[in-house]
A and B are shown apart, each in its own frame.
Chain A
Amino acid sequence: MSALDLSLREQAAQIAAGELDAGELLDACLARIEERNPDLNAVIATFPDRSREMLDRAPDGPLRGVPVLIKDEWPLPWRAETVGAASVPGVTLEPGESGPYRALREAGAVIAGVANMHELGSSSTGNTSLYGAAHNPWDLERCPGGSSSGPGAAVAGGLVSGAVGADGLGSIRYPAAYCGLTGLKPTFGRSAMEVHHIANTETIVSGPLCRDAADCRLLASALFGEELPEGQRSGLRIGVIKDPFWSDSAPGIREACESALEALRAEVDGEVVQVDLPDLDMILPAALLVAQAEEAAHLIPQVLNGLSPELGLINRGLLKLRAILPLSLTARALRVRAKVRRDVAALFEEIDLLAWPTVPAIAPSLTEPTIELPSGFESADAGNARQGVIANLTGIPGVSVPVGLDEGMPVALQLLGAWGADALLLDAAEALERATDRKFVELRPAAVA
């Protein structure tokens, strides 16, 4: 087995112990990107000299010498981000020292390349990018998930053992689910975000996509700038809102997640309780409006009338639509956010975790990203967003954990916790791994097994 197939923490430990040469690991990583990326299109830029320079200067941190990827959503000192697009309307992007770059450098990690993403981060599918779509290693014709498509495809494809993504409306958790990875959406504000092109964001966070929860803990600790302690949890109260999160998920998804939930409950000697949250139907439109308003200051006619023809048609239409949505709707969305945050806070007085499928169906095809749910055919974006955006609207953390296969494609359970419960979520994810003998985090796509 190549050292590249070790976990992030094994790579770090072996380098620290002098058992693994970090230079050789980086060379192997770059060679594997050369070998596999033509199929995956997960990586859009490598810079071997810069990577070797990072390695030469790597401090003795917890990730010293370990190669990772970073989503095309942050600048590096030698490369401006492109956000998967020909241009970001109204924004000048420049090289710089972004928060995630600084956090990775200070932890001793080596950035081996930049990972692909859905154009402007505007979809949960990852099927559109200036660089072409990234491909799901489990089935190259299917979506890898978005908008952190490249991080998901790269880690599942074995190019690296960890990658940094961003989650503004579920964009770490969807690719984690589609690609069979563990992905953490941290509590808002805990992970490094400096120099993001949406400086005023209240929804977007950086976070890790890795093969399992322990690696997510290691990478998240670097992004947080503080260690996320490991703990044994027992007696957890796990809340379940059946409708629509469970009832309107595809049967194969629901069954695998129900089995996982029962396994987790037994492992932590916990309790599953049915709970309610009011105004569920308003969470998605409120989240969309709040997130879109963060970028709306640039959507003036001079900018919109000069959009790059290389920008995808969907995004051109979306941007122009956002410019004419009534202000009253956004104001009402903020009022709904206030209510949902209070309701969620009250709910977490009664429970420790909320659980439902991360996505309601397996990864759809790249060419036609629609899904079939008990309620009918739906765009993957609509179905996914329904499951994911509550974490971004309210600021709470969430983790996606692989829990099975349906039609040969990964299935994932999402766990949500109260503000600051990031370590608890990772503890619960690890408990779920133990309860299932780690068989789902050890699964590899046939193409890379």
Chain B
Amino acid sequence: MEGESAFQGYLHRALETFGIETTEEERAVMTGVWSLYEPGMELLRDADLSSVEPEPYPDLSKPPR
């Protein structure tokens, strides 16, 4: 769609693919919230986590083993 941002393109395709119905107002909220989320999500997406060991069976009540 002309003038559509990358997120809006993803939004339309994802909603259609999963069969999630939305109103125009809801899509506006989703776009607005994503604009707040986007910088942090990009950081997460692009971070080099290859050296980070996962924490199996984490117990959040205690420090990591």
Using CB atoms and an 8 Å cutoff, list the residues of chain A in contact with chain B.
Answer: 187-190, 202-203, 279, 281-282, 284-286, 288-289, 301, 304-305, 313-314, 316-318, 320-321, 323-324, 328-329, 332-339, 341-342, 344-345, 348, 379, 382, 394-395, 418-420
Contact between A394 and B33, CB atoms less than 8 A apart: no
A/B interface sample: 6 pairs, CB < 8 A: A279-B47, A285-B44, A317-B26, A318-B33, A336-B49, A345-B64
- In the complex, are the beta carbons of B40 and A313 less than 8 A apart? no
**Do A324 and B11 contact each other (CB < 8 Å), given the known contacts A282-B43, A313-B25, A329-B44?**
yes
Beta-carbon contact of A281 and B34 below 8 Å: no
Known: A188-B60, A190-B61, A314-B29. A336 touches B47 (CB 8 A): yes
- Chain A, residue nearest B38 (CB): A285
Q: Are B52 and A335 in contact (CB under 8 A)?
A: yes
Chain B residues with CB below 8 A from A324, complex form: 10-11, 14-15, 18, 20
* In-complex Cβ contact of A320 among B30, B37, B53 (8 A): B30
Contact indicator B29/A317 (Cβ below 8 Å): yes
* A320, B25: Cα distance in complex, Å: 12
Task: Given A341-B55, A395-B60, decide whether A336 and B44 contact each other with a Cβ distance below 8 A.
Answer: yes
Q: Given contacts A301-B20, A335-B52, A341-B55, are A320 and B63 in contact (CB under 8 A)? A: no
Tell whether, in the assembled complex, residue B34 and residue A338 are in contact, meaning their CB atoms are under 8 Å apart: no
Among A189, A284, A418, which residue has its beta carbon within 8 angstroms of that of B40? A284
Please report the C-alpha to C-alpha distance between residue A348 and residue B62 in the assembled complex, in whole angstroms: 13
Q: Is the CB of B29 within 8 A of A301?
A: no
* Cα–Cα, bound, A289→B37 (Å): 10
Chain B nearest CB from A370 CB (Å) reads: 12
Q: Which of the listed residues B43, B59, B64 has the most CB atoms from chain A within 10 Å of its own CB? A: B64
Q: Is the CB of B62 within 8 A of A338?
A: no
- B49 & A323 in contact (Cβ 8 Å cutoff): no
The size of the chain B interface, using a CB distance under 8 A, is: 38
Docked complex Cα distance between A344 and B63 (Å): 9
**Any A CB within 8 A of the CB of B21:** yes
B64 in contact with A341 (CB, 8 Å) = yes
* Known contacts A190-B61, A320-B20, A419-B63; A338/B55 CB under 8 A: yes
Verify B58–A313 contact, CB threshold 8 A.
Answer: no
Task: Write the B13-41 contact mask toward A (1 if CB under 8 angstroms, else 0).
Answer: 01100111110011111101110110011
Please give the residue numbers on chain B whose beta carbons come within 8 Å of chain A beta carbons, in ascending order.
10-11, 14-15, 18-22, 25-30, 32-34, 36-37, 40-41, 43-45, 47, 49, 52-55, 58-64
Supposing A282-B43, A316-B26, A333-B44 touch, asked if A323 and B18 sit within 8 A by C-beta, the answer is yes
**Inside 8 A of A379's CB, which chain B residues have their CB?**
36
CB-defined contacts of A339 to chain B, threshold 8 Å: 49, 52
What residues of chain B lie closer than 8 Å to A285, measured between beta carbons? 37, 40-41, 43-44
Report the minimum CB–CB distance from B50 to chain A (whole Å): 10
Nearest A residue to B14 via CB reads: A324
Looking at the assembled complex, report how far the CB atom of A136 sits from the nearest CB atom of chain B, in whole angstroms. Answer: 24
A189 to B21, CA, bound (A): 37
Please, which residues of chain B bring their CB within 8 A of the CB of A282?
A: 40, 43-44, 47
Max chain B C-beta neighbours (<10 A), residue from A285, A320, A336: A320
Q: Which residues of B contact A316 (CB under 8 A)?
A: 26, 29
* Docked-complex contact A321 and B47, CB < 8 angstroms: no
When distances are taken between beta carbons in the complex, the residues of chain B under 8 Å from A342 are 55, 64
Determine how close the nearest CB of chain A comes to the CB of B15; give it in whole angstroms. Answer: 7
CA distance A339 to B49 in the complex (A): 9
Please name 13 further chain A to chain B contacts, defined as beta carbons within 8 Å, in addition to the given A282-B44, A285-B44, A324-B10, sorted by A numbering. Answer: A281-B43, A282-B40, A284-B40, A285-B40, A304-B20, A313-B29, A321-B34, A324-B14, A328-B45, A329-B45, A339-B49, A339-B52, A420-B61
Query: Once the chains bind, are A320 and B40 in contact (CB under 8 Å)?
Result: no
User: Which are the 5 A-B pairs with shortest beta-carbon distances?
Assistant: A317-B29, A285-B40, A395-B60, A189-B61, A338-B55
* Cα separation A320 to B29 with both chains bound (whole Å): 10
Q: Bound complex: CA of A22 vs CA of B5, how far in Å?
A: 62
Task: Give B53 Cβ to nearest chain A Cβ, in Å.
Answer: 7
Contacts of A305 in B (CB 8 A): 19-21
Bound state CA distance, A305 and B28, in angstroms? 17
- Smallest Cβ distance from B27 to chain A, in angstroms? 8
Which B residues lie within 8 Å of A419 (CB)? 61-63
CB distance from A277 to the nearest CB of B (A): 15
A393 nearest CB neighbor, chain B only:
B60
Residues of A within 8 A of B10 (CB): 324
Q: Are A317 and B41 interface neighbours, CB within 8 A?
A: no
- What is the chain A residue whose CB lies nearest that of B55? A338
Q: How far is the CB of B55 from chain A (nearest CB, A)?
A: 4
